């Protein structure tokens, strides 16, 4: 039986950028508060009980400004990514989710901020840099949108490369296995989900990046995600969980620069 289909994505939001100013200002004003912990408690319980989610190597996640870069196959991926670490994680979400309803209040008070897909949304990047400047952590997807099959995209979007280069924040690649089947709950199928955190790395800061630099950095990040995901997929849920050994301390943060393997 095939997986439940995703709805076709909607990329354009006809509302002007000024419509979203209040949501950005709320996020820029400070880290998420108690709403985040309430949502976290609910979603973590859901992830652990419904999908038997398991995290591997969460000790790789350092303190301070941080970009978590997972593969993307489900609207639950940000919750899976955040479930096994005690940091308050913020992330971009498509602007269509934001309006006048109660869920918009939950999103904006829970650390979510809008990005207008299909546009060069500088407001979203300004908000993202503000989060990192105050030492916060955020999720950004290399693929830009969800996979319909569980297969990783052919290439990365340059946005994550820009954020990593211009902020200098460490990047932690994250592999999520099984989340593309989460939508099969409609058929009463509840897959296992395994999340593995890779070793952090960071780039030398480039204050004004070119598109080629952004793309090269994004490709490097995506290659680390693909390596992690491929190994996790090869081992499978059971073997990966059986061999899981949590490190006592976070891994060191190698600098990606002139003397390292990634030349940018």
Q: At what angle do helices 159-167 and 211-242 cross, to 10 degrees?
A: 100
Closest CA to 85 of 139, 128, 30: 139
pLDDT at 263 over 60: no
User: What superfamily would CATH give domain 18-236?
Assistant: Glycerol-3-phosphate (1)-acyltransferase (3.40.1130.10)
Q: Read off the pLDDT of residues 95-118 as tens digits, 9 standing for 90 and up.
A: 999 998 899 999 989 999 999 987
Judge contact between 182 and 76, C-beta under 8 A: yes
Per domain, the residue ranges of the chain are 18-236
How does the average pLDDT of the chain come out, rounded? Answer: 86
Answer whether residue 32 shows pLDDT above 80.
Answer: yes
Q: Which has more confidence, 207 or 246?
A: 207
DSSP the chain: -PPPPPPPP-----S-GGGGHHHHHHHHTS---HHHHHHHHHHHHHHHHHS--EEE-GGG--SSSEEEEE---STTHHHHHHTTS-S-EEEEEEGGG-SSSHHHHHHHHTTEEEE-TTS--HHHHHHHHHHHHTT-EEE--SSSS--SSSPPPSS--THHHHHHHHH---EEEEEEESGGGGGGGGGT-----EEEE---BEEPP-SS--HHHHHHHHHHHHHHHHHHHHHHHHHHHHHHHHT----SSPPP--EESTTSS---
Residue 191 has pLDDT above 60, yes or no: yes
**Residue 12's CB: how many other CB atoms inside 10 A?**
10
pLDDT at residue number 151:
80
| CA–CA gap between residue 56 and residue 194 (Å, rounded) | 8
What pLDDT is recorded for position 258? 35
Residue 198 in this model has a pLDDT that exceeds 90:
yes
Q: What is the pTM of this model?
A: 0.85
């Amino acid at each position: 039986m095939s997986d439940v289909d995703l709805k076709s994505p909607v990329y354009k939001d006809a509302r002007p950028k000024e419509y979203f100013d209040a949501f950005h200002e709320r996020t820029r004003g400070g880290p998420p508060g108690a709403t985040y912990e309430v949502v976290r408690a609910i979603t973590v319980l859901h992830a652990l009980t419904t999908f038997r989610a398991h995290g591997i190597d969460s000790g790789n996640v350092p303190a301070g400004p941080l970009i978590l870069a997972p593969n993307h196959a489900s609207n639950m991926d940000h919750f899976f990514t955040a479930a096994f670490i005690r940091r308050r994680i913020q992330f971009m979400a498509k602007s269509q989710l934001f309006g006048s309803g109660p869920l918009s209040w939950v999103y904006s008070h829970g650390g979510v901020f809008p990005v207008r897909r299909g546009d060069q949304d500088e407001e979203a990047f300004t908000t993202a840099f503000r989060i990192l400047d105050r030492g916060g952590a955020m999720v950004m997807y290399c693929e830009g949108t969800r996979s319909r099959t569980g297969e990783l995209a052919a290439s990365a979007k340059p946005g994550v490369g820009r954020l990593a280069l211009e902020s200098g924040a460490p990047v932690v690649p994250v592999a999520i296995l099984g989340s593309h089947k989460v939508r099969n709950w409609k058929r009463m199928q509840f897959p296992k989900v395994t999340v593995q955190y890779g070793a952090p790395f960071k780039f030398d800061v480039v204050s004004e990046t070119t598109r080629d630099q952004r793309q090269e950095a994004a490709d490097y990040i995506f290659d680390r995600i693909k390596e992690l995901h491929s190994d996790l997929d090869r081992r499978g849920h059971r073997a990966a969980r059986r061999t899981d050994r949590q490190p006592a301390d976070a891994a060191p943060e190698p600098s990606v620069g002139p003397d390292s393997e990634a030349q940018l």
